[in-house]
Structure 1
Amino acid sequence: MRISAKADYAVRAAAELAASEPGATRTAEELATAQHIPRKFLEAILTALRSAGLVVSQRGLGGGYRLAHDASEVSVADVVRAVDGPLVFVRGERPSELDYQGAAAGLLHVWVALRANVRSVLESVTLADLAAGTLPAEVREMLADDGAWESPDSPSF
């Protein structure tokens, strides 16, 4: 699974907003600088987050962006979905809409299980967790496995 730059930037910007004083606004420029995100790209991302109801914007002096909800109510999955749509697609389709035949029939179960695992992690981590530098216990347990930090360079056979 690949996380798009758009999703990565969106979560980083949302985490910055979560770390802000309650009710405070941050400009796109401040967020872009804090997270080293191209400002023009971030502006499009903030528009998508606003359309999804995750952030609100305020114009004028002291204007900027702030979270529309408490950071503990917004998951990383919410942010990713706002900018990229469903979390797991296979060939542009949701796994539950696929149909495989013959020897590949079991592959459908693999894709659905993948989606369930991605959801489990991304829905359990909130923006408040990121801003506080803490993660839910089940995510920390996954990180305790040394294999979680390694990426095989070639097939393991």
Structure 2
Amino acid sequence: MDISARTEYAVRAMLILAESATLSAGPVSVETLSYRQTLPRKFLEAIVADLKNADLVKSTRGARGGYALAREPRDISLGDVFRAVDGPLAEVRGLRPHETAYDGVAEHLPTVWVALRASLRSVLDETSLADVLSGDLPERVSALAADPDAWRSR
């Protein structure tokens, strides 16, 4: 799986907003989001617009304006953020995994694609911004990351 820069930046920005929500610090400007994680401001503006369209963030205008989470950090999953900026978690040539069909030797491949999507969902939809912020990750995620083989490139 390739995690796009767009998705990575969105998650990092959302973690700043989650921290701000936890501290009751109020809205955070795009400039501050950009500065705190060294993200390109113009690119981040487009990303934040996508997050707003997905109802994950809300905006406040004015001198003290900026962005804040639309829900509590524990109620926003990484999967929500991924989908908001990059669309479905898994696609095969523009099709959803369950929409694929093959003949002959590849007949059972759609089952693998569906399982892959389910695997992504089990990590991304069960991990909230609050989990990442605190480092108290879901047991399944911690167990997967604890496997030394998970850290090796192949």
Tell me the TM-score normalised to structure 1 length: 0.94
Runs of 4+ residues deviating >6 angstroms: none
User: What does 1:142-153 align with in structure 2 at a 5 Å threshold?
Assistant: 142-152=144-154
- Distance, in Å, in 2 between the alignment partners of 1:69 and 1:105 is 42
Give the one of 95, 100, 108 matched to 2:110: 108
Q: In the aligned structure 1, how far is the partner of 2:106 from the partner of 2:94?
A: 18
Instruction: Tell me the distance in 2 between the aligned counterparts of 1:23 and 1:44.
Output: 23
Q: TM-score, normalised by structure 2?
A: 0.96
Per the alignment, residue 18 of structure 1 pairs with 18
Aligned match of 1:134:
136
User: Could you tell me how far apart the structure 2 residues matched to 1:75 and 1:35 are?
Assistant: 20
- Aligned Cα root-mean-square deviation (Å): 0.9
Partner of 2:90: 88
**Distance in 2, Cα, partners of 1:9 & 1:93:** 25
Aligned-pair identity (%): 51
SS at match of 1:124: coil
Determine whether 1:68 maps to 2:95. Answer: no
In the alignment, which residue of structure 2 is the partner of 1:53? 55
1:4 correspondence with 2:4: yes
**Paired residue type of 1:30:** T
* Partner SS for 2:125: helix
Output the CA distance in 2 between the equivalents of 1:22 and 1:141.
Answer: 32
- How many pairs are equivalent? 152
CA distance in 2, matches of 1:24, 1:104: 53
**CA distance in 1: counterparts of 2:34 and 2:150, whole angstroms:** 30
Deviation string for 1:91-114 (max 9, x for gaps)? Answer: 111101110111011111111100
Q: Which residue of 2 aligns with 1:118?
A: 120
Q: Deviations over 1:106-141 (max 9, x none)?
A: 111111100000000000110111121221111000
Question: Are the counterparts in 2 of residues 19 and 132 from structure 1 also a CA contact under 8 Å?
Answer: no
Q: AA paired with 1:148?
A: A
